[in-house]
Structures are given as structure tokens and as C-alpha cells.
Amino acid sequence: MLRYALLLLSLALGACSLSPQRQAEIDELIEARRGSVELVPDASPVRLDSPLDELVTSSSRQHLLLVEQGSDALALRIHLIRSAVERIELMNYIFHADESGQLLLAELVDAARRGVEVRILVDSLFSLDDVELLAGLELLEPNLEVRLYNPVFNQARLGDLSLASAVFCCFRRLNHRLHHKLLAIDGRHGLLGGRNTADRYFDLDTRMNFLDMEVLVSGHTVAEMQDNFDQFWQHSASRRARHTRDVAATLQRSAPDQILLERDSRAAYALSMIEDPDWLEALIGRAGFEVGTVRYFADLPEKTWSLESEVSTRTLHELIGTARERVLIQTPYFVLSPAFEQALAQLDPSVEVVVSTNSLASTDAWPVYAISRRQRFRMVDGLGVELFEAKPYPADIERFNQRYEQLVIDRALGITSPMRIDPPSATRDMPGPRISVHAKIVVIDDEVAVVTSHNFDPRSERYNTENGVIVEDRRFAAALSEYVETIAAPGNSWVVRVRPDGSVLLGPVNRTMAGLSRRLPTLDLWPWYLTENYRMNASDADELPPALEPVGLAPEVVLLRRHMGTSLVSRLFGFLRFIM
């Protein structure tokens, strides 16, 4: 019976696309009603001249700008959008229409009204799932077009029942997601890295904000970014929002006559920043670099079905394989795939491997952490990884988030920024928001650096499309190393170490049995873990283990069901490693 149900579901999936006749009807309806939607509140489009344009030359040298602070990231996006003359391309895995998302959408609409061609391509699973909003944007401005990547069942909004059905009928397609991050302006500037579009990427969330990193490339490499964007834009997996079933039905049945994109919200702090004539100059002065070689790498839309399209993973593994002295990695999710484990194992034993990632207390994806917990002993003992896990409330939290004091005030007022999938915090309640590492950075031998959207987990390797840049410049590499090392410092992270053997006889037995049990595809039967977190003594951080204080498997986690859920997933669901 189940087999027949799945067959019918698969046939239904194939029938989800709108017929050419229905698409033509929707196109005609939009042309007839174009301009019938009112933007509330309205504003006069603003065009500004940017000092960034002066950094683009015809020479082989290019300019890079590191963007660490979430506040700078939001202000820079608005600045870039307002500086656009001809075209804007935006790619995101997540685009929420919250306070920051609405402000950015309003700015993009304004740019389209100035005659700029605006193309927005977002993954359909967690982006712009307000069907009324998408219908309104279709009617608002012909220069602005939204496409959704891989909409399952050809729906802009996938409900819980449809999501559950997709898991059974089309699991591989469901897991193939657009994870690129890119904002390209006029073929001259390209911003990419780890940030999506949501309040917690721009220091606006009162419960948790991401520590992230991006790089703005100004120069000829941006043309390659646009070419890759075009490959995705023109691919059959990218659907015009108007041609998804639910948006089309809304347009035909009850199209909106106005759309609300709030400009005067908490996100408006970014408008004040760009009005300051010294803000951008100061940012360029402290985080700008003129460099020579910048290599762009990106997956192709056929990834998941074609090994040749898995460009990003192959590029990163090959780059790591060139290390002679040190590999420094920051990644929010650290799960070893067989290929990455082999890449690390093949390094010369003298090469130092340092990884900065999230703890259970700081992660936004605890099931991923649960799977990686099974691998901690292999990481630390077998591969020699020096593994640091970020604290949810690090000592330098006000350095990482310059809006922290304001967020404490907002939190006291009860202001929140919920996301669609948003598990409760597992830590004790505090006056301000916690942090979570989200940057994806690699530094090789303090000479070559990577800023990318690629996490170090099987999902990024096999299912998600990714992009990034490789920069061969010592100053640029040093700046990224300093950033990662600051987060890994004693007051900001714990270090993961192997527990000392309690017995000469039982120690080897424990190691052997645990090692075998952790590799089982399902049940992990051995009751004892061999690693735990240690608090580092700030004054003696470089000393041997006696300078370390054990703090357990999950320090600062007070939510009982988080402990239980993590243990359950870690013990019973090891086979999920391949999709984490």
C-alpha cells in the first residue's frame, strides 16, 4: 500500500509544474495589472556615488574588503544597492522578510524603479515564503524579478504536510539546496561569504546573533560570479515566482493591491550609518586590502546528480592538501565525511590542524552537533585536530557584536525576531543574546585564505551548492587568522581534549571499544565518551593539559531535553551523518 502511495505522490510531483498555457495566462494577467500594487510606505529612489567605484581599476590588482560586523554588513548592502547603475544580482539560501529583509527588499524595489535590472534568486525552502508578498512583487515593478530555486511540488511555501511528503517521495531533490551567497553590483563589486538575509545575521536578534564573515571583491573576478549566477538563473530548477502553484493561484484569485515593506524599523540603524561620510572610509581603512590573485570557485546547478559539478568541495580538499605547516578552519558545523577525513589523514603529521566551531550551547543546529559528537575522538586523537568550541556568551561578546548594549535594551522590551525553524535556547537566560559561529574560513600556512559559503560537513559536500574565493595574500590571510584565533581564545571558546585514561588496563580497552562503537552506522553501544570540553586558563593557555579544567560534554547547556535529544541522536542515528 505504501509503495502505491509513494508512486502516486511521485506522479503528482511531476504534474506540479504549470502548463505553458497557464504560464502564459499568468504572464498576461501580470502585464495587464502592472503598477496596480501600492508600496507602503513609499519613498523616492536614492542613487549615490560610491568611493568603492574608485577602487576598481583595469589592472590585475583587485580590492577586497572584509566585513565582520553584522551592522556593517547591512549598511554595506544598502550602500551597494543605492550605488547600482545597471544591474543587481542577489543569491541567498535564506531570505526572511523580517525587519532587515523588508528594508533590503524596499531598497531593491527602489533600485528597480531607478531603471536598474534587479534579479533575486533564493532557495525556496526557507526564503520569501509569504505568497501574498511574492504576488505583490510580481505586479510592482517590471525591472525586478524573483526566482525560487528548486521549489518542491512547485510551491513557494512548503507546508509541514508537503515537507513530510517530500521526505518520502523525493528525498534527494528535497536535500539539493542553493546555499550560495552573493550580492553582485554592475559587474564591479561582489559580496560573498557566510551571511544569509535575516535579522540574526545583522545584529538585530535579541536571542541569538551569528558571528559571520564576508568579503567584498571589487575587480574583474566579479564577472565570473555573474557568469555563475546566470547559470543558476537560466537553469530549469529556478522557477519564476509567478509560475509556482500558490503564487499563480493568488494572482488569479485575490492579488494584493498593496505590499508593506517597513523602512522605519530597528534595521533603520543602517540608514544612519550610510549617511555618515566617514563610515565607509573608516571601514575601508581598517579592513581593506589590495591584492593580486583572487580565484572564484562555485558549484554548478547539477550538483547532487553530477560529480563534475561538485567544484567547491574538490577545490577546498585540494587546497588543504597543499598545507605544509598549518590548516586553520572556522565552520559552524563540523562533521567528517569519508572524503574529508581522508584529506586530513593524508596531511604530513607535522601539519597543525586547528578548527574553530560551535559548542552544543552555541550551535543553532543541535542534531548536527549530536552526529559530530560521535566523531570527536577521531578528530582529536586520530587526526590530531586542535578543536575549539565557541562559548554562547564569550568574554569578547561586545567586540563581536557592537550593537550588544542596544540588544539588551530591546530584549528587556520583549522584542523578538522569530525564524521559521528556531529551536529554544539551551543556555541559561541572560540579559543579552548569545552568539553562534557562522563564518566559513580556511587559512593555509598563513599565506592563502578562503572565505566561502561551504561548511565542513557532508551536506555542503554533496547536496548544497556553494561558492567562495581563494586569496593568495599574506596580509589578508593574517587578518582572517587573527579573527578565528580571537574566537578560539580562552575567554571565548572551550578546547576539546581526550580524557586521561583512568587505568593502564581499561584505558586501551575503552579506546578500542569506543572507537569501534562510534563507527557503527546506527547504534552507538559503548556508554563512555573519550573527549570532553576544557576551560583554558587565560594566563597559561599554551601550557600542557594540567593548565586545563574539565567542564564536561556540554558546558552551559541547562535545557534537559537538549541533553536528552543530543544523546539520543548521537547514540541511535549515526547513519544521518551523510545528510548533515
Which has the higher per-residue pLDDT, 158 or 312? 312
Give the whole-angstrom CA distance, residue 7 versus residue 256: 37
On the question of pLDDT at 266 being above 80, the answer is yes
Query: Which of 52-66, 373-387, 408-422 has maximum average pLDDT?
Result: 373-387
Other CB atoms within a 10 A radius of the CB of residue 217 amount to 26
pLDDT at 227: 98
* Most trustworthy range by pLDDT among 10-14, 171-175, 273-277: 273-277
Cell of 514: 569506543
Which of 84, 38, 69, 57 is closest to 210 using CA atoms? 69
Q: Give residue limits of the domains in the chain.
A: 10-44+53-264, 292-579
Query: How large is the average pLDDT for residues 343-372?
Result: 96
pLDDT at position 11:
39
Q: Phi and psi at residue 523, in whole multiples of 5°? A: -70, 135
Q: In whole numbers, what is the pLDDT of the chain averaged over residues?
A: 90
10-44+53-264 — its CATH code? 3.30.870.10
Helix residue ranges, H only, 473-505? 474-487
Confidence of residue 455 (pLDDT cuts 50, 70, 90): very high
- What residues are paired with 228 via a beta bridge? none
Q: In this structure, what C-alpha cell is assigned to residue 367? A: 542534531
What's the rounded Cα separation, in Å, for the pair 242 and 27?
A: 8
Give the C-alpha distances (Å, rounded to integers) separating 353 from 187, 305, 379, 388, 493. 37, 31, 10, 11, 17
Direct distance between the N- and C-terminal alpha carbons of the chain, in angstroms, rounded to an integer: 30
Note the pLDDT of residue 477: 98
Task: Identify the sign of the CA torsion 79, 80, 84, 88.
Answer: negative
CA 191/CA 169 separation, integer angstroms: 36
Q: How far apart are CA 382 and CA 376, in angstroms?
A: 9
| Distance (Å) of CA 109 to CA 93, 101, 120, 279, 540 | 20, 12, 11, 25, 54
12 band by pLDDT with thresholds 50, 70 and 90: very low
Can 10-44+53-264 and 292-579 be said to share one CATH topology?
Answer: yes
Across 413-466, where does the E strand assignment appear?
434-437, 441-444, 448-452
Phi, psi of 125 (to 5 degrees): -75, -40
In sequence order, which ranges of 262-365 are alpha helices (DSSP H)?
Answer: 269-275, 279-287, 311-320, 338-345
CATH superfamily of 292-579: Endonuclease Chain A (3.30.870.10)
Q: Grid coordinates standing for 370?
A: 549530536
pLDDT tens string 83-122: 999 999 999 999 999 999 999 999 999 999 999 999 999 9
Q: Is the pTM of this model over 0.85?
A: yes
Q: Which residues make beta-bridge pairs with 135? A: none
Residue 423: the pLDDT is: 79
C-alpha cell recorded at residue 374? 560521535
Residue type, 15: A
Residue 254 exposed, middle or buried by CB count within 10 Å (0-12, 13-18, 19+): exposed
**C-alpha separations of 558 from 181, 411, 424 in Å:** 34, 20, 11
Whether residue 5 is predicted with pLDDT greater than 50 in this model: the reply is no
Segment 521-554, tens digit of pLDDT: 777 777 788 899 999 976 554 554 448 999 999 9
